[in-house]
Amino acid sequence: MILVMKQFQAHRFSVAPMMDWSDRHCRSLHRVLSSRALLYSEMVTTGAVLHGDRERLLAYDAGQHPVALQLGGSEPADLAAAARIGEDYGYDEINLNVGCPSDRVQSGKFGACLMREPDLVADCMAAMAAAVKVPVTVKCRIGVDDQDPEEALFTLVDKCVAAGVSTFIVHARKAWLQGLSPKENRDVPPLDYPLVYRLKRERPGLTISINGGVPGVDAALEHLQHVDGVMLGRAAYHEAGLLGAVDRRVFGLDAPDVTPFEAVERYRPYIEASLAQGWRLAGITRHMLGLFHGLPGARAWRRILTVEGVGEGAGIEVVDKALEAVRRAVEERDTRGAQNTVETAAG
């Protein structure tokens, strides 16, 4: 199924903001697999942006565009200031987290607990929109705890629209703020895709992206029959190779898919440059562990990167060794397949 796009729409396919995962190295890996997918940073709190090490938190390789910065906070003035800093760093979008259910986030009065305070969210978005020229967007749940999802979601969206927001990424689950861990909140509350589809039908002028439980590109294409965009999280991280088909299948580009082998070669200059800057190999390659998921040699790939990549001074030769192990395994499989074909024909 090939969809030809009349105009490039970054939100058509995006990779979710994921704490401890979607860092600068991860995003650069994902970019070599897809030239079009919109990439999101990890959530960064306003306090960290305003008072922390900005270069460590916000810097990224220029090749990552389009890339969005996700902020966590609930103080309009602080969010406006942090959004300006993000814009100065060149981010193409500033996103507010209204979906994370962790205790730490709740204690800071941001994330999913803000679903209960739509007026405050609207004030935050109005302040951010007034502070920057790039788009400001919201990533939210459909509700929390005992909220009625229909009422909670539509109220939040409508108040944010009045504040100048037109793009929403909706994780199609409630968040339970008590009794479920953040991990359980990604799986246990039931998905309600039809509610998000209805939001798009009844608010057709908005850009609505859907998130939550999307396993791959086939499912993304199904969702795109109903909404403007799809955001993948864990699937894109643990099986990054699936991103190699996104440009062709989702954005309609007349281009061959990027294979995992090609992705490694494209990523290699970034690895070498990052090592030269003082980054440790393991911190870069940990995002590559699932790249060869489902292929012969995938286990050897993971083992070599994990065991040998953590050593002091580990360099690009570790990646080369792991890649060669996969190549050998694939060649052995192909050789066995060819032999079986010959034997079958001879029989």
The residues carrying an active-site annotation are 100
Binding-site residues from annotation for FMN: 17-19, 70, 139, 171, 211-213, 233-234
User: Tokens in use for 205?
Assistant: 């002028």
Strands, DSSP E only, in 102-227?
Answer: 136-140, 143-144, 167-171, 174-175, 207-211
Query: Is residue 93 classed as helix, strand or coil in its secondary structure?
Result: strand
User: Tokens in use for 227?
Assistant: 């909404």
Cβ 177 vs Cβ 148: under 8 Å: no
User: Tokens in use for 91?
Assistant: 């981010």
Alpha-helical segments (H) within 143-292: 149-162, 182-185, 193-202, 217-223, 234-238, 246-249, 260-276, 281-285
Q: Do β-strands 67-72 and 38-45 pair in parallel, antiparallel, or remain unpaired? A: parallel
Question: CA 80 to CA 184: how far, in whole Å?
Answer: 32
CA neighbor of 17 nearest in space, from 43, 35, 36: 43
Distances (CA, A) of 14 to 97, 213, 216, 286: 15, 14, 12, 21
Q: What's the sign of the alpha-carbon dihedral 291, 293, 294, 298?
A: positive
Query: Is residue 71 classed as helix, strand or coil in its secondary structure?
Result: strand
